[in-house]
Amino acid sequence: MVGRETPGRLDLVAVAGVSAALLALEVLLLRLFEFSHWYHFAGLAIALALLGLGAAGTTLALAGRYPFSRGDGWFLTGLGVTGAGFLLLLVVQSRVTLRPVFAGWDLGELVRLLLVDLAAFVPFYGAGLAIGQVFLRWPERTRGLYAANLLGSGIGSLGAALLLATVPVAMALAVVAVLLFALGSVIGWVRGQRVAGAACVLGLALALIAAVRPPEPAVSDFKALSRIGELPGVETLAVHSGLPGRLTLLRADSLRYAPGLSLGWTESVPSVDVAVVGSDRVVPLVRRWPVDAAHRRASLAGLPRQLRPHGRLLVLGSGAWQTPVAAGGRAVTWVEADGRLLEIARARGASEAGITLVEDGAWRHLVTAPDGPYSVIAFDAAWEEGDAAAEDYVLTVAGLALALARLEADGLLAIPLPLDDPPRYYPRVMATLERALHRQGAAAPGDHVAVLRGLQALLILASPRPLAEADIAALRDFAERWRFDVAWWPGQAREQANRYHRLDSPVFHDIARALFERRPLPPATRLFHAAPAELDRPYPWRSLAWGETPRLVRELGGRGWSYLDWTLILSVVTTVVVAVLAFLLVLVPLGRLPAIQRPFGRLSVAGYFSALGLGYIVVELVVFQRLILYLGEPVLAAALVFATFLIGSGIGSAMTPADASRASLGRIYLAVAVGLALALVPFMAVHALSTPPLAWRLALLVALLLPLAWAMGRPFPWALRQLAGQDRWIPWAWGINGFTSVLGASLAPLLSIHIGQSAALVAGAACYVVAFAIARHWLVRSKRA
């Protein structure tokens, strides 16, 4: 690439190729770290890795005055480091077994974790070196280069999703490395860079070996996949790749699941198989339908079916609660987003047993409800709980109201929860249910609800109309027979709520009473966040109340740490660590850069590119969060959003006006405003966008988002173009943009959780307002000069 005044086609392909590899790595890394790490650490790990991009910008800013920092040799070096980083990552992940659950208190384990994560820093750093220097080399061609960067990124995002759907994650990484080294080999050959080219050929050979025989990621012995693999007589029946993660189907006679089972049950519980998704999510699956499920008559899990012996059951999601187990000729619709689980069930006779298997998101099925109304809607997925930062649209006020509307007049919602003492999620779920009942017209929501409690399970039942005397009598009989406590029924006395499984106080009854009587929760239960989950803040599994954290730890002692939402805490830690590191890395080259010339100033350049970096990623991630509502599967939503934004922005950047005029600036930011207005539609027309079939939904969403993506791709290259002539400042600006993108990636979920998705979107839009104001200031200064 040395000596050419403009980038050729091969140069643009090279930029696109490295960009594609980079985005593919981001997507694959999420899946890889989820497998090997404790998922709370995955975000931190990825943020540290992404710092490699910003660090590359700093390196380029420092090395920018030296000729070797631009040219084919430097590019191939960066590419080679990227590819080597891929291989290093594969080796490290296969050789080092982490025990992230101990990292919370074992400093040595934490250090090991961070060192392993540094392996991921290398490919990002290498890619940053390669891509960043092309802007330094051809400062007049930022539009085309940035377009290649973004288009390649979009292709990489889609390619990674395709790979994840078809091959194991380790093989996917190796395949990307193969493509990368192949690209480097071609460039080395064409451009006469023999040494670098030979190194790429060597890398290609190693990557091919890894692709054919990919090294398996080492799994902690504390992960479910490892523990179940240790059982005597365990058999691996099948392994399937897929977007939700690797699915391993296992069988062992000692695998039995019966949450909610009465202590009074003395007979056997049948063995089941399990599907382990990823390394830790365990989904029990019956070996063959019909199944002997006699034990369910003594279980909270079987109670809804006993109360409503006729009519269709709807089961949302999968988990150990296993409502489909007792289908027994009853009409059941089982909705699950992971089609592989349904395929396994189908092969085992579920359809013949009367179960209709539907691969769809729970929210969408409630909206369309093709086979409703239902006599029972069982929220099986609720038993598995969720992460504090994971979107769960069904357990929101809107979701529960929708479910109530899909029931028969005397139908029942059944929401199982693991029992926590002190109650962690129960207050929030009950508050959400109370609000949903109100929305559906219930004058006294407490009359519509019953709560039963076993030794480790809660079952919340709710009906669109007040529970009949017959229902209450049946509940009480069941509870008496099987020695469950009834924590709430309409008119219950407090003393009746704590008989068999004794707690220090009938706290679950007290919470229900406080909520239904619209009084404050008992002081002892105010340790957790208990506001109803709304569609704009669909995080029902967020329990952390920041103000109560000291009291939580003080009152519960050491075990209080276990009740904290570590995802949120580590997101805050990530944000702070990244901010500090970014600040330092941004400051490092400042003393060695030449003076910046008017109309620019260091602060305004930093401000502009920071605002763009933050704004772009915050808007992108908030949109991604909302699209999970419509698509059901987070990885599918991520692939669609990332691809749309990157490809759209790539096209937009290629069409960026080059002149520095108020007119061009106005056009650029007006387009952003129009795009943002269109992007509001997914936040408003919820039902309209939920009903179309998948292909139409995808097309509609892309059509709504593409204008915004196109518009958001233009401010960055426009400003880089203006910096032409002050070349050394370009990688610095690019690096700042990279750092603030990383910062935004950890900040965006925090914003959505705490202030809502709409407000987070506004915050992202505000960043563009700031950027516009700075750019206008440049133009004014330029005119005065």
Instruction: Output 140 or 253, the one with its CB closest to another protein.
Output: 253
Instruction: Output 364 or 428, the one with its CB closest to another protein.
Output: 428
CA distance 497 to 475: 13
Half-sphere exposure of 525 (CA within 13 A, CB side): 25
Rg of the chain's alpha carbons, rounded to an integer?
A: 28
Q: Minimal distance in Å, beta carbon 486 to another protein? A: 15
Rounded to the nearest angstrom, the gap between the alpha carbon of residue 422 and the centroid of all alpha carbons in its chain is 28
Q: Buried b / exposed e across 288-318, counting CB within 10 Å, b at 16+?
A: ebbbebebbbbbbbbbbbebbeebbbbbbbb
**Other Cβ atoms within 10 Å of 29 Cβ, number:** 24
Pairing relation of β-strands 457-462 and 449-453? antiparallel
CA distance 467 to 307: 11
Q: Minimal distance in Å, beta carbon 451 to another protein? A: 16
Q: How many residues bind another protein (CB under 8 A)?
A: 58
User: Which one of residues 221, 352, 371, 659 is an interface residue with another protein (CB under 8 A)?
Assistant: 221
Instruction: Output 419 or 647, the one with its CB closest to another protein.
Output: 419
Contact assessment for residue 753 and residue 537, using Cβ atoms and an 8 Å cutoff: yes
- Alpha-carbon distances, residue 37 vs 101, 139, 525, 626, 761 (angstroms): 9, 41, 32, 26, 30
Write out the binding residues for another protein, residues 292-311 only, by CB under 8 A. Answer: none
Q: Which of these ranges, 179-187, 220-228, 636-644, 745-753, lies near another protein under the rule CB under 8 A?
A: 220-228
Q: Minimal distance in Å, beta carbon 264 to another protein? A: 7
- Residue 218 contacts another protein per CB under 8 A: no
- Residue 282 contacts another protein per CB under 8 A: yes
Which residue reads 């997507």 in tokens? 27
Q: Minimal distance in Å, beta carbon 472 to another protein? A: 23
String of contacts with another protein for each residue 474-513, x by CB under 8 A: ---------x---------------xxxxxx---------
Q: Minimal distance in Å, beta carbon 384 to another protein? A: 8
Q: Which of these ranges, 222-230, 336-344, 600-608, 743-751, lies near another protein under the rule CB under 8 A?
A: 222-230
Q: Minimal distance in Å, beta carbon 499 to another protein? A: 8
Q: Which of these ranges, 115-123, 412-420, 599-607, 673-681, lies near another protein under the rule CB under 8 A?
A: 412-420
Write out the binding residues for another protein, residues 47-76 only, by CB under 8 A. Answer: none
Three-state SS string across 110-151, please? Answer: HHHHHHHHHHHHHHHHHHHHHHHHHHHHCHHHHHHHHHHHHH
Write out the binding residues for another protein, residues 257-276 only, by CB under 8 A. Answer: 257-261, 263-269, 274
CA distance 37 to 223: 9
Alpha helices in 317-407 (DSSP H): 339-347, 362-368, 397-405
Write out the binding residues for another protein, residues 688-707 only, by CB under 8 A. Answer: none
CA distance 737 to 759: 22
Helix (H, G, I), strand (E, B) or coil at 373: coil
Q: Minimal distance in Å, beta carbon 491 to another protein? A: 25
Q: Minimal distance in Å, beta carbon 301 to another protein? A: 10
Q: Which of these ranges, 197-205, 237-245, 254-262, 374-382, lies near another protein under the rule CB under 8 A?
A: 254-262
- Alpha-carbon distances, residue 61 vs 123, 346, 423, 588 (angstroms): 19, 59, 53, 9
Contact assessment for residue 259 and residue 457, using Cβ atoms and an 8 Å cutoff: yes
Q: Minimal distance in Å, beta carbon 30 to another protein? A: 21
Structure tokens at 285: 């699956």
Q: Minimal distance in Å, beta carbon 97 to another protein? A: 11
CA distance 395 to 408: 19
Q: Minimal distance in Å, beta carbon 42 to another protein? A: 16
User: Which one of residues 235, 421, 477, 480 is an interface residue with another protein (CB under 8 A)?
Assistant: 421
User: Which one of residues 232, 309, 491, 520 is an interface residue with another protein (CB under 8 A)?
Assistant: 232
Residue 292 sits at φ, ψ, to 5 deg, of: -75, 105
Structure tokens at 687: 């039902």
Q: Buried b / exposed e across 454-479, counting CB within 10 Å, b at 16+?
A: beebbbbbbbbbbbeeebbeebbebb
CA distance 778 to 722: 10
String of contacts with another protein for each residue 539-578, x by CB under 8 A: -----------------xxxx--xx---------------
Q: Minimal distance in Å, beta carbon 112 to another protein? A: 13
- Residue 208 contacts another protein per CB under 8 A: no
Residue 739: which of 48, 131, 18, 19 has the closest Cα? 48
Write out the binding residues for another protein, residues 309-368 only, by CB under 8 A. Answer: 320
String of contacts with another protein for each residue 83-112, x by CB under 8 A: ----------------x-xx--xx------
Q: Minimal distance in Å, beta carbon 231 to another protein? A: 6
Write out the binding residues for another protein, residues 640-699 only, by CB under 8 A. Answer: none
User: Which one of residues 76, 255, 533, 771 is an interface residue with another protein (CB under 8 A)?
Assistant: 255
- Residue 220 contacts another protein per CB under 8 A: yes
Q: Buried b / exposed e across 514-549, counting CB within 10 Å, b at 16+?
A: bbbeeeebeeebbbbbbebbbbbbbbbbbbbbeeeb
Instruction: Output 77 or 279, the one with its CB closest to another protein.
Output: 279
Instruction: Output 417 or 612, the one with its CB closest to another protein.
Output: 417
CA distance 725 to 365: 57
Q: Minimal distance in Å, beta carbon 673 to another protein? A: 46
Instruction: Output 6 or 266, the one with its CB closest to another protein.
Output: 266
Instruction: Output 348 or 483, the one with its CB closest to another protein.
Output: 483
Three-state SS string across 66-114, please? Answer: CHHHCCHHHHHHHHHHHHHHHHHHHHHHHHCCCCHHHCCCCHHHHHHHH
Q: Which of these ranges, 198-206, 248-256, 334-342, 694-702, lies near another protein under the rule CB under 8 A?
A: 248-256
- Residue 597 contacts another protein per CB under 8 A: no
Residue 81: which of 185, 181, 156 has the closest Cα? 181
- Residue 6 contacts another protein per CB under 8 A: no
- Residue 423 contacts another protein per CB under 8 A: no
Instruction: Output 298 or 449, the one with its CB closest to another protein.
Output: 298
Which amino acid appears at position 108 of this protein?
A: G
User: Which one of residues 231, 474, 524, 680 is an interface residue with another protein (CB under 8 A)?
Assistant: 231
Q: Minimal distance in Å, beta carbon 100 to another protein? A: 12
Contact assessment for residue 376 and residue 304, using Cβ atoms and an 8 Å cutoff: yes
Q: Which of these ranges, 182-190, 191-199, 223-231, 585-593, lies near another protein under the rule CB under 8 A?
A: 223-231
CA distance 513 to 591: 64
Instruction: Output 13 or 231, the one with its CB closest to another protein.
Output: 231
User: Which one of residues 378, 419, 719, 753 is an interface residue with another protein (CB under 8 A)?
Assistant: 419
Instruction: Output 263 or 584, the one with its CB closest to another protein.
Output: 263
Write out the binding residues for another protein, residues 17-46 only, by CB under 8 A. Answer: none
Instruction: Output 380 or 471, the one with its CB closest to another protein.
Output: 380
List the beta strands (DSSP E) in 194-331: 235-240, 247-251, 273-277, 281-285, 313-316
Three-state SS string across 324-335, please? Answer: HHHCCCCCEEEE
* Beta-bridge partner residues of 235: 251
Query: Site residues (CB under 8 A) for another protein?
Result: 99, 101-102, 105-106, 220-224, 226-228, 230-232, 252-261, 263-269, 274, 280, 282, 320, 384-385, 418-421, 455-456, 483, 499-504, 556-559, 562-563
